[in-house]
Amino acid sequence: MSIHILGTGAIGCHIASVLRLNRIPVTLLLRSQSRLREFDKCRNSIAYRSQGQIDIIPGFEASVVGDTTDQTPIQSLIVATKGHHTLKALTPVASRLSANSTILLLQNGMGVAEELLENLWPDTTPPAIFVGVNRHAVERMGPYDITHHSGYADPDALSIGRFPVNNTAAQQKEQPELIAKITAIRKLNAAQLPWPIVLVKMYKKLVANACINSVASVLMYKNIGNIKNGNPGGIAMMRAICQEAHDVFRDDLPGETVDSLMDMVLAINQQAGENICSTLQDIRLKNLTEIDYLNGYICKKGRERGIDVRYNQAMVNIIHAKEALYD
């Protein structure tokens, strides 16, 4: 079974590399013929840097998403595109998926699974959709060239849960081959967990990303800048974001306080300090960011629940203002 991967940024290349290191066939779905030529120049390989070692990993298959001549069914698909790109990127291959297919979504932020179901499978049985909460910190150094900063020693690095859909409730206990293969790889530190547990982890990861990514992107510095030398302004901004997120998701995060969430944010910020967050990577490359699925999601839910989210909205506005200045 070949596992297809859509999205060849930091996370997509990381998962692809680890799968190939474990002798699992991988097919990369690339967005254009130019990307395919670029990959061909890399001899269909990925440079994977981790713990001071560089592995050049060969043996990948690759095809273009928009190639209408290829209608081969896709059994297992990992989607590692940014949240705001996912629907557009997945639409051309949706016809190759069926109710027997499995999709694993690996994005920062929240709301992607709901968006896909609403737009691609509103009246039909969708594939089994799993969502991963990913704590591996990976930086894109160049095309098909990544550095894995942290996560390989984190026993809770990748938590996976099946997104609940009413007409697939009877299948909730089944583990598709894709999930079985991923959870069997020790280096990924992955585990399949019940959806309610994964959902709590998603909210906590959302809080961490909303705090760290937005502030690091304002500072235009790697993550450690948020807290370097006890940075009072950086920490104050993160605490204000955290406070609002706790106000919005208080009922979804039982037992959590603003202080406990801030302790988590600061610990993750320190652990992934040498990483350049995905939002800042996008800004440096003059790409649109995923801010609407991070702080923007907090704002959306805050407005629905009548809660003041002015600090998160300010971060959304600042990041969009940066995007508007791209040449």
Domains of the chain: 3-193 (3.40.50.720), 199-324 (1.10.1040.10)
- Measure the CA angle with vertex 24, ends 23 and 29; round to 5°: 130
Q: How many residues does the chain have?
A: 327
The CA distance from 134 to 151, in Å, is 9
What does the pLDDT read at residue 298? 98
Strand 26-30 and strand 61-64: the pairing is parallel
Classify residue 184 by burial, with Cβ atoms within 10 Å: 0-12, 13-18, 19+. exposed
Q: What is the pLDDT along the chain (327 residues), one digit of tens a residue?
A: 799 999 999 999 999 999 999 999 999 999 899 999 999 999 999 999 999 999 999 999 999 997 777 788 999 999 999 888 999 999 999 999 999 999 999 998 898 999 999 999 999 999 999 999 999 989 999 999 999 988 888 999 999 999 998 755 444 557 899 999 999 999 999 999 999 999 999 999 999 999 999 999 999 999 999 999 999 999 999 999 999 999 999 999 999 999 999 999 999 999 999 989 999 999 999 999 999 999 999 999 999 999 999 999 999 999 999 999 998
What does the pLDDT read at residue 268? 93
Q: What is the CA radius of gyration of the chain?
A: 19
Paired residues of 176 in beta bridges: none
The CA distance from 304 to 230, in Å, is 35
From the centroid of its chain, how far is CA 68?
A: 27
What does the pLDDT read at residue 62? 94
Helical spans, DSSP H, in 1-160:
10-21, 33-41, 86-90, 112-120
Classify residue 228 by burial, with Cβ atoms within 10 Å: 0-12, 13-18, 19+. middle
Classify residue 94 by burial, with Cβ atoms within 10 Å: 0-12, 13-18, 19+. middle
The CA distance from 13 to 139, in Å, is 10
